[in-house]
Amino acid sequence: MQKNQLPKETLDFLKGTSSKEEDARVIAWYDQLDFTQQNTDELVNQISSRSKEKIFQKIVKEKNRASIYSWSRLVAAAVLLIVGFFAWKTISRSNNLSQDATESQLAMIKPARERAIITLETGEEINLDNLKINESIQIGDITVVKNSQGQVSYINSKTGEPQMNSIRIPKASIYTITLSDGSKVTLNSESKLTYPSVFKNGDRTVVLEGEGYFEIEHTPNKDRFIVQTEQQEVEVLGTKFNIKAFDRENTTFTTLASGSVKVNSRSKPEHQVIKPGQQAYSARNGSLAIQAVDLEKVLGWTNGQFIFDGTNNKETFDEIARWYDVDIQHQANSRNNEYIGKIPRHLTLDKLISLMNYAEIDIQARIDKNNRIKLLIN
């Protein structure tokens, strides 16, 4: 018998009429199948095809052609039985490639920490973990300095011209950067800010991908501070606001904490001026709208909290995935969607899971074949 050929005893095995020797041959055939290198759907399709062929050949031999139609229903039933059995076993075997995560493994997963990577205009990267306070490093013609306030600056030592640089925040990370004008930007996990090392006179323009909380300083000549995202351009003079503009999401949100900002659509000739407690949001079609929001919920990530309000829970689970760099599979339409509460962000993953389970959010932690933690929320 070829390696993947369906044993002739399979039908008797499933009907319960096979001998022990025939049972052993079917089980031995199943055990030698390579489930790890073949797609489950493809394997099931092959089993289905071979089952039809084998059973139909047997029926044709034993019954005259006049009764084939009535026996075709038995063929279909037998094939469904065989395919269902082996599909279930195959999927079960595939799922067993993952295993439950232990408490000690979960305890090793720490919450996001201050970590960022700066990419210079030359393309060279600097891990800011390696740059200490009051330390400078030289990369080509560029001098990189971190002062006593943690502000990082970059100057071309030959021309004295400011450089365009970007700061990237990996998963399970957060970082606050002070720009050359004194403005502060706190960047969430999986975010990127592109900005000049020194602002010249005139508009102060930066580009954001992901999520950032801005605290903008006034300048004596009242230069505008402009944040560009794919969908919006936000103009301010001095204020505090949050922008959320992840690539994988269809909507960009600008939320004002204090002051006043003007939000322009980048694809349509329209704008909105928002007040504190308001949020301007735009979809892919470029249209802008305003809604009132709960600032505590929107800014929870800057205050060390995961906030569930019963309407944003999938969004909060996505935040947890970024914060701990884990994968989350969330079952929609469950009671977990209705949970309302706050959970601290400083906990190790085992403590977070314990607290969420205590709040009756059912979480199972698994380790997949790629050695990544996956949380199943049912």
pLDDT value at 105 more than 60: yes
CB atoms within 10 A of CB 311: 11
The per-residue pLDDT for 69 is: 46
Q: What pLDDT, on the 0 to 100 scale, is given for residue 182? A: 85
Residue 351: beta bridge partners? Answer: none
Average pLDDT over residues 218-231: 89
pLDDT, one tens digit per residue, over 245-281 is 998 888 899 999 999 999 999 888 899 999 999 999 9
For residues 323-334, give the mean pLDDT: 83
pLDDT value, residue 22? 75
Residues 6+ apart with CB under 8 A from 146: 128, 131, 132, 133, 134, 135, 136, 152
Residue 135's beta-bridge partner residues?
146
Percent over 70 (pLDDT), the chain? 70
Q: Can you tell me the distance from the alpha carbon of 173 to that of 182, in angstroms, rounded to the nearest whole number? A: 22
Percentage of residues in the chain having pLDDT higher than 90:
36
Higher pLDDT, 41 or 107: 107
Per-residue pLDDT at 330:
83
Strand partners, 240: 215, 258
Instruction: Return the pLDDT at 349.
Output: 95
Q: What is the pLDDT of residue 58?
A: 52
Q: What is the pLDDT of residues 159-200, one digit of tens each?
A: 666 778 899 999 999 998 888 888 999 999 999 999 988 888
Residue 68 has pLDDT above 70, yes or no: no
Predicted local confidence at residue 169, as pLDDT: 95
Question: What's the mean pLDDT in 61-88?
Answer: 50
More confident residue, 178 or 57: 178
- Of 305, 326, 296, 325, the closest CA to residue 112 belongs to 325
Which residue(s) pair with 272 in the sheet? 263
pLDDT at 35 (0 to 100): 45
- Reported as a single tens digit per residue, the pLDDT across 345-356 is 999 999 999 988
Q: Which residues, 6+ apart, have CB-to-CB distance to 217 below 8 Å?
A: 181, 182, 183, 238
Q: Over the stretch 233-247, which tens digit does the pLDDT of each residue have?
A: 999 977 999 999 998
Q: What are phi and psi of 297, to 5 degrees?
A: -70, -45
